[in-house]
Amino acid sequence: MDEQAVPALEVQGLGKSYAEGRRRRVVLRDVTFAVAPGECVALLGRSGSGKSTLLNLLAGIDRPDAGAVRIMDRSITTMREPDLTLLRRRHIGFIYQFFNLVPTLTVAENLALPLELNRIPAARRRERIAELLAKVGLDGRDGAFPDQLSGGEQQRVAIARAIIHDPALVLADEPTGNLDAQTGHLVLELLSQLFRDEGHTLILVTHSREVSAIADRIFAVEDGQLTEHTEALSW
């Protein structure tokens, strides 16, 4: 990582536990790492290892018990809720396993949402929506509803939605987890190409073995801790 650049994301001593009956279940302990602007970091771990919990803490959707998260050199851990909402709206994009498109809105309307929240004028919104639809290979599908699209197409819309407002940080939680292998491969390829073109910083949670081809660095999530893979993956 460039020593001069302010990290896009900086995580220091992050801890999170949940109450389980009278005990506490520790999900993350002392997680520390930093991600440079434009970097792609993959998180690999078994189901239940705390990957989604970590992403939710990074996005400020959930609050940690210990430690701090800085996004573009601003601490989100101490931020008040309205400021956090603004920061998330402007600087973070989220891609989910189950796409999470609004079913009652068309493709174009789904893509307009992040732009409307950021008060982008209608003419610019239309331009940007057309630009992104072309980039994800869905030209002319702007009037379709999500249930008229295949899973792979829905995920391509969700990817477009996550980056349409040009966020500093894109968080993807198993974006290919609900797709067949071939579709997942294409979606991953698209994601990789888009984020290189547009210069986003990407944190990618995935089970996919192909991830090593697109990630700059890979971390394993295990027993609540993050370990960086320093050698090529054995599998």
Ligand X SMILES: Nc1ncnc2c1ncn2[C@@H]1O[C@H](COP(=O)(O)OP(=O)(O)O)[C@@H](O)[C@H]1O
The total of other beta-carbon atoms located within 10 Å of residue 104's CB is: 9
For residue 189, the SS3 value is helix
Count of positions on this chain that bind ligand X (CB under 6 A):
10
52 near ligand X (CB under 6 A):
yes
User: What does the chain come to in residues?
Assistant: 235
Spatial strand order in the sheet of 217-222: 92-95, 169-173, 201-205, 40-44, 217-222, 225-228
User: Which residues, 151 to 190, sit near Mg ion by CB under 5 A?
Assistant: none
Which residues face 23 on adjacent strands? 20
| Residue 121 binds which of Mg ion, ligand X, none (CB < 5-8 A, kind-dependent) | none
* Residue showing the smallest CB distance to Mg ion in the complex: 52
Q: Which is nearer to ligand X, 106 or 155 (CB)?
A: 155
User: Which residues, 134 to 173, sit near ligand X by CB under 6 A?
Assistant: none
49 near ligand X (CB under 6 A):
yes
Distance from C-alpha of 230 to C-alpha of 53, rounded to nearest angstrom: 24
Buried b (16+ CB within 10 A) or exposed e, 148-158: ebebbbbbbbb
| Residue 4 binds which of ligand X, Mg ion, none (CB < 5-8 A, kind-dependent) | none
Q: Which of 4, 47, 182, 230 binds ligand X (CB under 6 A)?
A: 47
User: Which residues, 172 to 231, sit near ligand X by CB under 6 A?
Assistant: none
What residues contact residue 149 under an 8 Å CB cut-off, 6+ apart?
107, 141, 157
Q: How far is the CB of 177 from ligand X (least distance, A)?
A: 10
| Residue 60 binds which of Mg ion, ligand X, none (CB < 5-8 A, kind-dependent) | none
Alpha-helical segments (H) within the chain: 51-58, 81-91, 107-117, 122-135, 151-163, 181-198, 211-214
Q: Which of 8, 14, 27, 41 binds ligand X (CB under 6 A)?
A: 27
| Residue 93 binds which of Mg ion, ligand X, none (CB < 5-8 A, kind-dependent) | none
Q: How far is the CB of 205 from ligand X (least distance, A)?
A: 7
Q: Which of 52, 106, 154, 155 binds Mg ion (CB under 5 A)?
A: 52
Residues that bind Mg ion (CB under 5 A): 51-52
Residues that bind ligand X (CB under 6 A): 18, 27, 45, 47-53
